[in-house]
Amino acid sequence: MTASAEKFTRQTILEVQPLTPSLFTLRTTRDAGFRFVAGQFARLGVTKADGSVVWRAYSMASSPHDEFLEFFSIVVPGGEFTSELSRLRAGDELLVEKLATGYLTLDRFVDGRDLWMLATGTGVAPFVSILQDFPVWEKFEHIKLVYSAREGQELAYRELIAGLEQRDYLAEFAGKLQFIPIVTRERVPGTLHGRITDLIQNGDLEKTAALELTPEHSRVMICGNPQMIDDTRQLLKGRDMNLSLSRRPGQVAVENYW
> H or E segment at 236?
helix 226-237
Q: Max alpha carbon distance in the chain (Å)?
A: 54
Within 10 A of 169 (CB to CB), how many other CB atoms are there? 11
Ordered domains of the chain (ranges, CATH): 5-97 (2.40.30.10), 106-255 (3.40.50.80)
AA identity, residue 211: L
Residue pLDDT, tens place only, 173-232: 999 999 999 999 999 999 999 999 999 999 999 999 999 999 999 999 999 999 999 999
Q: Is the pTM here over 0.85, yes or no? A: yes
- Residue from 132, 232, 150, 242 nearest 188 by CA: 150
Q: Would you state the pLDDT for residue 258?
A: 58
Q: How far, in Å, CA of 45 to CA of 97, rounded?
A: 8
Q: How far apart (Å, rounded) are the C-alpha atoms in residues 254 and 152?
A: 25
Dump pLDDT digits (tens) for 74-83.
999 889 999 9
Q: Which amino acid is at 199?
A: L
Q: What percent of the chain has a predicted confidence (pLDDT) above 90?
A: 93
| Coil/strand/helix, residue 103 | coil
Pairing of strands 23-29, 8-20: antiparallel
pLDDT tens sequence across 92-102: 999 999 999 99
Can you list the pairs that 203-211 forms with residues at least 24 positions away whose Cβ atoms lie under 8 Å?
205/146, 205/180, 208/180, 209/144, 209/146, 209/178, 209/180, 211/114, 211/142, 211/144
pLDDT at 257: 59
CA contacts within 13 A on the Cβ side of 223 = 28
Helix (H) or strand (E) holding 231: helix 226-237
Provide the pLDDT for residue 218: 98
> What amino acid is encoded at 120 in this protein?
T
Would you state the pLDDT for residue 1? 45
Report the pLDDT value the prediction gives residue 256, as an integer from 0 to 100. Answer: 72
pLDDT in tens, 141-166: 999 999 999 999 999 999 999 999 99
Q: Are 68 and 29 in contact (CB under 8 A)?
A: yes
Over the chain, what is the mean pLDDT? 95
pLDDT at 34: 98
* pLDDT, position 145: 98
46-85 pLDDT tens trace: 999 899 999 999 999 999 999 999 999 999 988 999 999 9
Q: Which pLDDT does position 246 carry in this prediction?
A: 83
| pLDDT tens digits along 116-134 | 999 999 999 999 999 999 9
Tell me the H-state helices in 57-212: 82-85, 125-131, 134-139, 158-163, 196-201, 204-209
